[in-house]
A and B are shown apart, each in its own frame.
Chain A
């Protein structure tokens, strides 16, 4: 069983469209995250949620809206896609926000290409 699964794996779309990426974890973790990895492979946190509550929002444009219907799911909706949104988006989870337990488990990534 995949611990952190995200869909789709690939997403190719036109500028201006709206798209969603879904993420589910079956590890029983309290905390989930979205990261963006750009073309230079720099991995940067976007959001974190703990028990469905938003904890971190890293000055991401408000075109990006995360939603956590329950603590096992964290979806990412992106409105009005721009060329600069092209990247690999990773979902991750960790047992809690406590640093000693903050080992993160990543999904396989969603490669978003905006044309």
Chain B
């Protein structure tokens, strides 16, 4: 069956460190993969989209990699700040997006 798995345990890191979140998928062959951020009580907000022929995409302190052989995407936040604390969701699909369960990131000062 198709699955999109993200680490369900919260990731706790110190301010200034790099946070790395993982998204693994099975039985999909996505051409695109997206990452969203969700804060408590709010809707997800789009962060980055990466295509299958792109190994890496950057936006300010964010970096996403996409390995279609490993069926994995990594999401990095460098120089993390407490304001980066949120749940991060990966999503993939064609006409419909299927979301992973999300990983909660907690950045302590």
Contacts and interface: CB of A to CB of B under 8 A. Distances in A.
Interface of A: 4, 40-45, 48, 55-56, 58, 90, 92, 97, 99-100, 102-109
Given A102-B32, A102-B95, A104-B46, 9 more contacts: A41-B87, A42-B99, A43-B89, A45-B98, A48-B95, A48-B96, A100-B49, A106-B43, A109-B42
Contacts of A103: 34, 46, 49
Nearest to A58: B96
A64 to B, nearest CB: 16
Interface residues of B, number: 23
A94 B101 CA distance: 21
Contacts of A43: 44, 89, 99, 102
Contacts of A102: 32, 95, 97
A105 B94 contact: no
B95 A42 contact: no
A108 B96 contact: no
A88 to B, nearest CB: 9
Contact of A108 (B42, B46, B93, B101): B42
Contacts of B93: 99
Interface of B: 31-32, 34, 36, 41-46, 49, 51, 87, 89, 93-99, 101-102
Contacts of B45: 106
29 contacts: A4-B43, A41-B101, A42-B99, A42-B101, A43-B44, A45-B97, A48-B95, A48-B96, A56-B95, A92-B43, A97-B95, A99-B93, A99-B94, A99-B95, A100-B32, A100-B51, A102-B32, A102-B97, A103-B46, A103-B49, A104-B36, A104-B97, A106-B44, A106-B45, A107-B43, A108-B41, A108-B42, A109-B41, A109-B42
A108 B91 CA distance: 19
B37 to A, nearest CB: 11
A82 to B, nearest CB: 23
A99 B42 contact: no
A100 B50 CA distance: 9
Nearest to B101: A42
